Structures are given as structure tokens and as C-alpha cells.
């Protein structure tokens, strides 16, 4: 009987390992590839990190050669005239239901939008919706998780 209990415990641990890995993958913390709304081409790599339960997103790589030295001349806050590379495009995404909510900056236009976000496709997509006033008047983007930088 003792051997059976030990075997059940060991087998149960192996069954739980994939579940624990899946739970870890459900965090948005990590690297994400963003895409151009018009062309569908990859534009950059965003690092999402967490500080005190709040998500932040920083431009880690600019993938479009012509944009690599871009400065945010249209930004209206402390990011004005700062390089897009290394810029935090969101600083305050807070847990909200099954996702997050806060604000996101479009460094191309300097516009700040209200933003909601959630994970999709088993944690492989980070889906953001940016809008002014009403979510129905906004647009969505799906970023893809980057497996390695």
C-alpha cells in the first residue's frame, strides 16, 4: 500500500509539471514582437516586465532599419525628444479582470491611448486594444511572444 501511495505521488508530480509550466507561460512578462498595422511586418521587440504588480513595456529592439534612430518628437510628456529605442511605451497596465488596463503610447504619433490587454493563444499572443473615449472606436494589435531575443 505504501509503494502504491508513493508511486501515485510521483506520477502525480509528473502530471503536474506541464500544468505548472503552462501557468508560468500565462504571464505576459518577457519579450514580444509588435507589428505594423498596415503592412503586417514586424516593427519591434517589446520587453514586458512587472514592478509591484504593474506591467511596463519598453522598446527593446527596433526592427525597421529606417526607424532605428527615431526620436519621439511628437510625444507630449517626459518622453518628448527621447529615442524610441529603450522607451517605455506603457508604464501602468494594472490587473483588470482577466487582463490588464492602463495607457499606451504610440511613439510614431506621440498619442497616448487608453489600453486594455489580455493574453491569447495559450500565452503566445498579447492582445492590446488602444482607444480614445470608447473601446469600440479603437484598434487592436496582437503581439507574438519571442522565444529568444
Q: Write the pLDDT tens digit of every residue in 40-99.
A: 999 999 999 999 999 999 999 999 999 999 999 999 999 999 999 999 999 999 999 999
- pLDDT the model gives residue 22: 46
Confidence of residue 38 (pLDDT cuts 50, 70, 90): confident
pTM for this model (two decimals): 0.80
Model confidence at 13: pLDDT above 50: no
**Higher-scoring residue by pLDDT: 13, 47:** 47
The overall average pLDDT reported for the chain is 86
pLDDT score at 148:
58
Which CATH number does the domain 28-145 belong to among 3.40.718.10, 3.90.1010.10, 2.60.40.3080, 2.40.128.520?
2.40.128.520
**Cα separation of 92 and 90, whole Å?**
6
Domain chopping of the chain, boundaries = 28-145
Amino acid at each position: 500500500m505504501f509503494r502504491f501511495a508513493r508511486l501515485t505521488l510521483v506520477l502525480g508530480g509528473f502530471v503536474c509539471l506541464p500544468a505548472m509550466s503552462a501557468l508560468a507561460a500565462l504571464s505576459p512578462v518577457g519579450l514580444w514582437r509588435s507589428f505594423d498595422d498596415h503592412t503586417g511586418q514586424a516593427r519591434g521587440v517589446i520587453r514586458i516586465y512587472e514592478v509591484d504588480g504593474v506591467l511596463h513595456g519598453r522598446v527593446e529592439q527596433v526592427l525597421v532599419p529606417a526607424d532605428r534612430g527615431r526620436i519621439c518628437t511628437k510625444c507630449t510628456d517626459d518622453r518628448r525628444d527621447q529615442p524610441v529605442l529603450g522607451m517605455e511605451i506603457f508604464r501602468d497596465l494594472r490587473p483588470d479582470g482577466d487582463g490588464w488596463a492602463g495607457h499606451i503610447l504610440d511613439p510614431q504619433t506621440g498619442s497616448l491611448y487608453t489600453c486594455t490587454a489580455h493574453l491569447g493563444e495559450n500565452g503566445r499572443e498579447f492582445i492590446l486594444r488602444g482607444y480614445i473615449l470608447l473601446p469600440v472606436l479603437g484598434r487592436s494589435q496582437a503581439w507574438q511572444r519571442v522565444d529568444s531575443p
